[in-house]
Chain A
Amino acid sequence: MTLIDKDIIAKKRNGRQSKNTILKWLFFLCTMFGLIVLIMLIVDTLMDGWSRLNLDFLTSFNSSRAEQAGFFGAIIGSLWLMLVTAPVAIILSIGTALYLEEYAPKNKFTEFIKINISNLAGVPSVVFGLLGLAMFARALQLGNSVLAAGLTLALMILPVIVVASQEAIRTVPASVREASIGMGATKWQTVSRIILPAAIPGIVTGVILALSRALGETAPLVVIGVPTTLLVTPSSVLDSFQAMPMQIYSWVKMPNEEFQYVAAAGIIVMLVVLLLMNSAAIFIRNKFSKRY
C-alpha cells in the first residue's frame, strides 16, 4: 500500500511552483515599473537640460531672454532658506521628541499629543503655506521674507523630524539608560551623555530627509508670494528671496520654448543637490547604526 501517490504530488507541485515563478516575475515588474519611469524622466531631463548646464547658468540671475537665464538667485535663495529652516526645525523637533520620550508622563494626554504629531506629518504642504501666510507673512508682518518662508517650512517638516527622532530615541536600549541612572546620573546627564549620542544617527537621517523635502517644496512658497524674479540675493533674513522650485515652475510656464530647456537644467541642479543630501543621510545611517 502506498501512502504517498508521487504522481499527484508531482502534479500539484508543478502548479505551486509555476505560481511561485509567475508571482516572482510579477513583483519584479512592479519594482521595475517605478524604476523605469524614473530613469526615463531623468534621461529626458538630462537630454533637455544638458546643453544649458554650464558655469554661466550657475552664476547668472534669471532673465526673460532664455539664452541668458540663470539659476544663481534661486540657488543662493534656497541656501538662505535652509539657514533659517534647519536650525529652527532641528532645535524644536529634537526638544519635542526628548520631552515626549523621556520626560512626559505616560498618560492619555501625552498619547493624544503623539497621535496629533504623527497626523500633522500628513497635512498637505499648501495648508502649511496658508498658515505661514496668515501667521508669519501677515500677522507678524514678515511679508515674503526669508524668515517667514523659513519658519513656515520649519513648521512643515517639524512633525517628520519629531517622529524620526522619537523612533531613534526609542531604539536606545533600556539597559543603557537604566545603567546610567543606576550610576546616579540625573535625567539630563543621561539624555545628554547617553541617549542623544546613541540616537544621533537616526535623528540626523530624519533631519536630512526632512530638509530635502523642504528644499523641493513649492506650494507654501507660492502661497506666501515668493517672487520669481529678483536680481539681488538677500542680505538679511528679512529680505525677500528666490527659491529653486519656484524658479523652475516659472520657467515651465514661459511661452518661449527655449525656457523648457532652461527649466530642465534647473531640475538637474536641484536633483543633484537633493541626491547629495539623501546620499549623506544613507551614509550616516550605515556608518553609525548598530551601536548596541
Chain B
Amino acid sequence: MKKNLFLAALLMSLMFILAACSGSGSEEGTEEESAGSEETTEEGSEDESSESGSSADITGAVNEDDEQIAGEGSSTVFPILNLLVEDFNADQGIAVELGGNGTGSGFSALIDGTAQFANASRAIEQEEIDALEEAGIDYTEFLVATDGLTVAVNPANDFVEELTFDELKTIYSGEAENWSDVNPDFPDEPIAAYGPDQSHGTHDFFNEEVMEEEGVQGQLIQDTNQVVSSVVGDQNAIGFFGYSFYQENSDQLKAVSIVGPDSEEAVEPTFENVMDFSYPLSRPLYVYTDNAALEENETFHTFMEFVLKNSQSAAEEVGYVPLEDDALEEELSKLPNLEQ
C-alpha cells in the first residue's frame, strides 16, 4: 500500500511539474517566437511594399502605456481588419485584440466598453444607437471597404444571365418552385435556393434590400463555404454570398447580373461596379469607434489612421473592393486632431 501511495503522489507531482514547465517554457518561447513571426510578416509585407508603402505616411505615434486596444464584430469585415492588425503589429509592435463573432456582438462589446471599435457589415441600427447613448458613448462611423453581395448560379446553368429584385424575391420567398415560375422562358426545373443563415450580416442585408424584411426562405446554412459548394454541386442551384467568396471560387461559379429596383439595366458584380456603388447589391463595410478612446488613447488613434490608410491594399488582398481615393480622404478627415 505504501508503494502505491508513493506512486500516486509521484504522479500528482509529475503532473504539477509538467504543468509548471509548460507554463514557464511558454513564456520563454513567447519572446523568441514573436521575434520570429515578426520577421516573417515583415518579409511578407515587403513583397507588396508598393501597395502598403503608405504605412510610412503615418503621422501618429504609439505609446506602450496606453490601454490594450480591442475590437469585435462582423465575420465579413474580420479578414480585412485581421490583416491590418497583423501589419500594425509588424510595423509598430502593438498587438491589437480582434474577434469576429458577428456585427451584433461587435456593437454589444462597444456598448459594454469592452471594445474600442466594432466592425459591422451593415449600418448601425436605432436600438444600438439608443443603447450607446444610454451608456454615454459617442461613436464615429468609418467606411473601410465595399462588398458586393453576389448572386451566383452553377456554370452549367445557361439560361440565367440577369435577375431583377422582383425575380430574386420570387425565388427566395419560396413562391417559385421551378425556374419556369420565375420567368416563363426558363426551363421547368426545380430551384434549389441557398444562402447564409441569420447569424450573418449578409443574410440581414439581403433580407432588407431584396426581401423587404419579409424573411429569406430556402436552405440557409451557417458556414458560407457550404453555400458556395452547394451551388457548385447542383445544376439547378442559386446562392448568394459576399464578393470575396465569389472571388475565391469564380472559376466554379457563374455570377448573375442584377437589375436594381429603380433601373432597367442589369449590372454585373465587377470590381468597378461595386466600387462606385452602381451594382445594386453593393454594401459598405464599417468600423465604428468609441470617440473617447480615439481622443485619449494615442495608440488607438494611430491604429485607426493605419487602418484607413492601408484599407485599400488590405481590402484588395482579401478579396473585397477598396474605397475610392476621395472617399478615403473623407474617412480620414473624420479622425479627430490630436494635439501633438
Contact = CB atoms under 8 A, between A and B. Distances in A.
Interface of A: 56, 59-65, 68, 70, 72, 76, 79-80, 82-83, 86, 137-138, 143-144, 197, 200-201, 204, 222, 225-233, 235, 239-240, 250, 252-257, 260, 284, 287-288, 291
B4 A229 contact: no
30 contacts: A59-B33, A60-B40, A61-B33, A61-B34, A63-B83, A65-B86, A65-B317, A68-B41, A68-B44, A197-B1, A197-B5, A200-B11, A227-B70, A227-B72, A227-B99, A230-B98, A233-B30, A235-B27, A253-B223, A254-B79, A255-B79, A255-B244, A255-B245, A255-B247, A255-B319, A256-B79, A256-B319, A260-B225, A287-B7, A291-B4
Nearest to B36: A59
Given A68-B41, A256-B248, A230 B95 contact: yes
A214 to B, nearest CB: 14
B37 A144 contact: no
- Prevailing SS type, chain B contact patch: helix
B36 A255 contact: no
Interface in B42-98: 44, 68, 70, 72, 75, 78-80, 82-83, 85-86, 89, 95-98
Contacts of A287: 7
Contacts of A144: 114
A152 to B, nearest CB: 16
A288 B8 contact: yes
B224 A197 contact: no
Given A83-B19, A197-B4, A68 B114 contact: no
B249 to A, nearest CB: 7
A106 B33 CA distance: 56
B105 A225 contact: yes
Given A65-B317, A255-B244, A255-B248, 19 more contacts: A59-B36, A64-B317, A70-B37, A79-B22, A225-B101, A228-B100, A229-B98, A233-B34, A235-B27, A239-B68, A240-B97, A250-B75, A253-B223, A255-B79, A255-B318, A256-B248, A284-B11, A288-B4, A288-B8
A138 B11 CA distance: 38
A64 B82 contact: yes
Give the one of B79, B86, B245 with max A CB within 10 A.
B86
B78 A228 contact: yes
Contact of A227 (B5, B19, B89, B97): B97
Interface string B2-46: 001101100110000001001100110110011011001100100
Given A252-B223, A255-B79, A229 B101 contact: no
A63 B78 CA distance: 11
A23 to B, nearest CB: 39
Contacts of B317: 64-65
B33 A255 contact: no
B242 interface: yes
Contact of B83 (A64, A80, A143): A64
Give the one of B27, B34, B317, B319 with max A CB within 10 A.
B34
Nearest to B26: A76
Interface string B104-124: 010001001010000000000
B41 A253 contact: no
A161 B12 CA distance: 16
Give the one of B37, B96, B225 with max A CB within 10 A.
B37
Given A64-B86, A200-B8, A291-B4, A76 B30 contact: yes
A240 B23 contact: no
Given A59-B33, A79-B22, A255-B248, A138 B112 contact: yes
A148 B194 CA distance: 39
Give the one of B8, B30, B34 with max A CB within 10 A.
B8
Contacts of B223: 252-253
A61 B86 CA distance: 9
Nearest to A176: B1
Interface string B271-299: 00000000000000000000000000000
B229 to A, nearest CB: 10
A67 to B, nearest CB: 9
Contacts of B78: 228, 250
Contacts of B33: 59-61, 72
Contacts of A231: 34, 37, 85-86, 89, 95-96
Given A231-B85, A233-B30, A240 B70 contact: yes
Nearest to A284: B11
A228 B99 contact: yes
A287 B10 CA distance: 13
A284 B10 CA distance: 12
Interface string B249-279: 1000000000000000000000000000000
Given A232-B34, A255-B224, A225 B85 contact: no
Contacts of B318: 64, 255-256
B86 A225 contact: no
Nearest to B105: A225
A255 B112 contact: no
A263 B143 CA distance: 30
B30 A255 contact: no
Contacts of B109: 225
Nearest to B222: A253
Contacts of A138: 112
